[in-house]
Amino acid sequence: MNGWHVDPAELRKQGRLVMDIATEMAEPIAALGSGPAGFSASVALDRRTKQWLADHTALTPSVGDAGQALVASADNYEASDRFSR
Amino acid sequence: MIRFVDLSNADVDGLFQLSDQWRREAATDRRHSDALRDIWDGLPHAWQGDAADVAIAKLAELTDSVERSAQEAERTADALRNFGQELGAAQRALRDAVDSAHRQGLDVVLGHVIAPETDPEQGQDKRALVPPAQRAIDHALELAQQADLTAAAALGLLSALHRAGVTPDVMDLLERSFTPAEIATMEPGRLRSILDVGRRMHDAGIDLSRVQRIKSSWNANTDGIELELREPLNLDPAVFVEDTGAFGYDFQHFFGGQEAFPPEHTVAHREISKDGTSPALHVLQRDNGVAQVHIDFVPVAEGRDDDGTPNHIITNVPEHIIKDLTGVSHDDDVFDRYNKLDHPVPKIEEKLRELAWQGGQDTPEARRLTAEIEQLLEQER
């Protein structure tokens, strides 16, 4: 492997920051209200709200996983470094 | 149709509050995407190598997704705010209409204007006031109907575009170029074409913020797209031209290019980006089902003759031949002219295109081709 470099402590720190963001993202979203009764736009808004919430909810674990992956990489590099010494 | 009672009772302030609520969600997402971007921007300082590249790419993708979520929330907030403004205007118009009817001594019952039964003579006068009062109420309801359809279309379209994975920069360009109502009512093929051009530009790494707006003229055969530029695009010629066809000549002509100009190459893009003087960049996509011609993403800049008149594509094909073949004159729309240039006799079409490649120069080759086309036309007659 050419030109690789790792700073495990910094990598772990960044990974934890990503995990913190995921934790914040997982906080419940205040109920997004509905539009006025009798309007088509209100029906469209309900659909839109449900979809946006679903997409948003699905995104959060991926961010958390990415943070964990960074921390795990830092751990692995440290472990292999100890082993090689 | 929106009912009188629904418009009367609609909580317009609630729509503005709802819009604010979406905007707060957008701000939260934006904060997260900015933080993620800072992290992956700085990650190479802590980690480099093949595994790092994969992780950074994944993080970049996630950041884009969070940013897209923010933009979607912002757009929903915008749609709700617009709906609130338009619905508020309709509601005010309705209240004014009802107040006006009351001031004239008329009753309004669930949107129906009624003249009260008083003495016959006065009642007659009041009945004459009913139609204009009713029209004012109906007009307010129509405004509400319009607002409702626009908002429903905008919100529905947002869902559809989101599902289709339209990127934020393309969405921005679309919204800079068209009103929500225009987008919502656009022919599907036209919208697809605009989004396709946007996607190609995005994929080619073009900064779409350099484009002021995108204009489109669309019909069943021809699809012309024009970009108004804020600044040169700095296009990579290799990315954009798959087949310049007859248009190649124009690039050379308009920009005085000296290079040889085979169909698979172009100098035009560089010329456009270099001088930056061209106010517009035309992109012509053409898919002729009969001839299976597909000219894909070909930018053509409109030049000007010395006297300032626009200098269009195929200008230098001799005028009498154009007229003979297409029946259209020099000043006709450039897309129509090209569209009608297809001749049912392949030999003529082929020679005509060869002629176009001569760039309007009075060369022996051009004279030969012109004579051959004239001969073929004569035979046809």
Mean predicted lDDT score pLDDT of chain B: 68
Kindly state the percentage of chain A with pLDDT values over 90.
42
Q: Does B18 touch chain A (CB under 8 A)?
A: yes
pLDDT band at B257 (very low <50, low <70, confident <90, very high): very low
pLDDT band at B361 (very low <50, low <70, confident <90, very high): low
State yes or no: pLDDT of B56 exceeds 50: yes
Cβ-based contacts of B151 with chain A (< 8 Å): 39, 41, 44-45
Annotated domain spans of chain B: 4-165, 166-311, 315-381
Q: What is the DSSP string of B107-130?
A: EEETTEEE----SHHHHHHHHHHH
With CB atoms and an 8 Å threshold, state whether A48 touches B76: yes
Distance in angstroms (rounded) separating the CA atoms of residues B340 and B360: 19
Quote the minimal CA–CA distance from B118 to chain A in Å.
Answer: 36
Overall average pLDDT of the B348-356 stretch:
63
pLDDT band at A45 (very low <50, low <70, confident <90, very high): very high
B24/B128: higher pLDDT: B24
Cβ-based contacts of A21 with chain B (< 8 Å): 32, 35-36
Overall average pLDDT of the B108-121 stretch:
82
The predicted-structure confidence for A17-42, as pLDDT tens digits, reads as follows 999 999 999 988 888 889 999 888 89
State yes or no: pLDDT of A14 exceeds 80: yes
Q: Does B184 touch chain A (CB under 8 A)?
A: no
pLDDT of residue B338: 42
Task: State the residue for tokens 């830092």.
Answer: A74
Overall average pLDDT of the B78-85 stretch:
94
Which value, in Å, is the radius of gyration of the alpha carbons in chain B? 29
Distance in angstroms (rounded) separating the CA atoms of residues B173 and B200: 13
Count interface pairs A-B at CB distance under 8 A.
Answer: 141
pLDDT of residue A84: 60
Q: Does B32 touch chain A (CB under 8 A)?
A: yes
ipTM, two decimals, is 0.89
pLDDT band at B354 (very low <50, low <70, confident <90, very high): low
Task: State the residue for tokens 């969600």.
Answer: B25
Measure CB to CB from residue A6 to each of B14, B47, B65 and give the nearest one.
Answer: B47
3-state secondary structure of B293: strand
Cβ-based contacts of A65 with chain B (< 8 Å): none
**Inter-CA distances, B285 with A44, B192, B216, B331, Å:** 33, 12, 11, 21
